[in-house]
Amino acid sequence: METREIANQQVTFHCYNTVIVGSGAAGMNCAVHLYEFMERKGAANPQERIAVVTAGLGLGASRMSGSDKQTYYKIGTSPDVPDSAEEFAKSLTAAGCCHGDSALVEAIGSLREFYHLVQAGVPFPTDSTGTFIGYKTDHDPFERATSAGPKTSRFMSECLQRQLERCGVRIHDEQEIAHLLTVGSGLSKRIAGVVTIDKKSVDKSNYAINVFLGANIVLAAGGPGELYKTSVYPNGQLGIHGLAFKAGLIGANLTESQFGLASTKFRWNVSGTYMQAIPRLFSTDADGKNKEEFLTDFFPSMSRMATDIFLKGYQWPFDPQRIENLQSSLIDILVFNETQKGRRVFMDFLHNPIGSDSMEEFDIDALEPEAADYLKKAGARQDTPIERLAHMNTPAIEIYKENGIDLYSEPLEIAVCAQHNNGGFAVDKWWQSNIPRTFVIGEMAGTHGVKRPGGSALNAGQTGGLRAAEYIVNAYGCEMADYSGKQSEIDRQLSGLVTGLKRYDSKAGLVPEDAIESVQSRMTASGGHIRELNDARRALKEAVKLYKDMQRHGFKLEHAGSIVQAIQAEHLALTSVAYLKAIVELLGQGSGSRGSHLVLSEDGIEIHPDVIDKATGKPLKFKPENQSLRSTVLQVEYDESPPDLFRCRNVELRPAPTDRKAFEPAWQDYREGKIYSR
- Chain residues that interact with ligand FAD, rule: CB under 6 A: 21-27, 54-56, 59-62, 65-67, 70-71, 153, 176-177, 220-222, 232-233, 237-240, 268-269, 419-420, 442-444, 454-458, 461
Minimum Å distance from CB 348 to ligand FAD? 21
Closest CA to 501 of 564, 442, 545, 419: 564
Which ranges constitute the DSSP H helices of 109-255? 110-120, 152-167, 241-247
Pairing of strands 438-440, 209-219: parallel
CA 543/CA 519 separation, integer angstroms: 7
Closest CA to 69 of 179, 150, 186: 150
Cβ proximity to ligand FAD: between 457 and 636 the closer is 457
Backbone angles phi, psi at 176, to 5 degrees: -85, 125
Please tell me whether residue 40 adopts helix, strand or coil conformation.
helix
Minimum Å distance from CB 302 to ligand FAD? 30
Minimum Å distance from CB 452 to ligand FAD? 8
Minimum Å distance from CB 343 to ligand FAD? 23
Strand partners for 194: 180, 212
Cβ proximity to ligand FAD: between 243 and 407 the closer is 243
CA distances from 116 to 44, 111, 128, 168 (A): 24, 8, 21, 19
Q: Which long-range contacts (CB under 8 A, 24 or more apart) does 534-539 make?
A: 536/580, 536/583, 536/584, 536/587, 537/584, 539/580
Minimum Å distance from CB 549 to ligand FAD? 21
Cβ proximity to ligand FAD: between 420 and 594 the closer is 420
CB-based burial, 564-603: b 16+ in 10 Å, e otherwise: bbbbbbbbbbbbbbbbbbbbbbbbeeebbbbbbbbbbbee
Q: How far is CA 195 from the centre of its chain?
A: 24
Cβ proximity to ligand FAD: between 217 and 620 the closer is 217
Minimum Å distance from CB 66 to ligand FAD? 5
CA distances from 428 to 85, 102, 475 (A): 18, 7, 14
51 Rama sector, left if φ>0, alpha if ψ -120 to 50, beta otherwise = beta
Minimum Å distance from CB 175 to ligand FAD? 6
8 Å CB contact between 345 and 416: no
Cβ proximity to ligand FAD: between 456 and 601 the closer is 456
Q: How far is CA 425 from the centre of its chain?
A: 12
8 Å CB contact between 16 and 46: no
Cβ proximity to ligand FAD: between 73 and 362 the closer is 73
Cβ proximity to ligand FAD: between 66 and 279 the closer is 66
Minimum Å distance from CB 199 to ligand FAD? 9
Minimum Å distance from CB 170 to ligand FAD? 15
Which ranges constitute the DSSP H helices of 94-231? 100-108, 110-120, 152-167
Cβ proximity to ligand FAD: between 137 and 591 the closer is 137
Cβ proximity to ligand FAD: between 191 and 599 the closer is 191
Minimum Å distance from CB 424 to ligand FAD? 9
Cβ proximity to ligand FAD: between 30 and 386 the closer is 30
